[in-house]
Amino acid sequence: MTSSEVRVEIARRVAAQLEPGQYVNLGIGIPTLVADVLGDDSGIVFHSENGLLGMRGLREGEVPDPELVDAGKRPVALEPGGAFFDQSLSFAMIRGGYIDVAVLGAFEVSPAGDLASWSLGEGQANGVGGAMDLAAGAKRVWVTMLHRGSTGAAKLVPACRYPVTAHGVVDLIFTELGVFAPAGDTFRVVSLAPGVTREDLGDEIDARLYTFENEESPVR
């Protein structure tokens, strides 16, 4: 698969876990693709921190409104009944606990659920944006990311090496290899992607970071 196809598959994996009636914030990057892969009748209300509620991805042939963009500045559309508002009200929703799931990108996640998402250290700060507020205010925090960085280093790590956005907040991690849950000292393998084996998770050292509930890990 191409890089873009891999990202779409990760977004599909997230979409499969969402439930109708949930209010879901989508962060920048892979998270924004979740709105694209769900149909209009999903029953999920998508929120964007820049001030949108009830957004959806553009459909094929649909002319974008340049004034309607998501947190990543991508053109989007609004579902019937959707609304846009100023950023202060948007963050009031986040801080008030009205977001059921925040889907965020990350540089690293630890087995303790620590999230590192805003800086690569040594002055390389991307900007924390609304991640701190979402990590603190959302009922659940899900992370989407590629399993390894450009250097081949794993992003699921024993302890975050980069500056931490929030401690102990991550509930699920979605990568091209599967779905994982922080479990204190290890990552619990919720499911592996089709064709992925235990060996694909890394060498012997990396493999110690993962635990399986049973010998036949579920695949979805």
Task: Provide the annotated active-site residues.
Answer: 49
Strands 52-56 and 77-84: antiparallel
Q: Is 12 exposed, middle or buried (0-12, 13-18, 19+ CB in 10 A)?
A: middle
Identify the three-state secondary structure at position 46.
strand
Cα(149)–Cα(194) distance, integer angstroms: 21
Half-sphere exposure of 217 (CA within 13 A, CB side): 21
Cα dihedral 8, 14, 15, 21, rounded to 10, equals -150
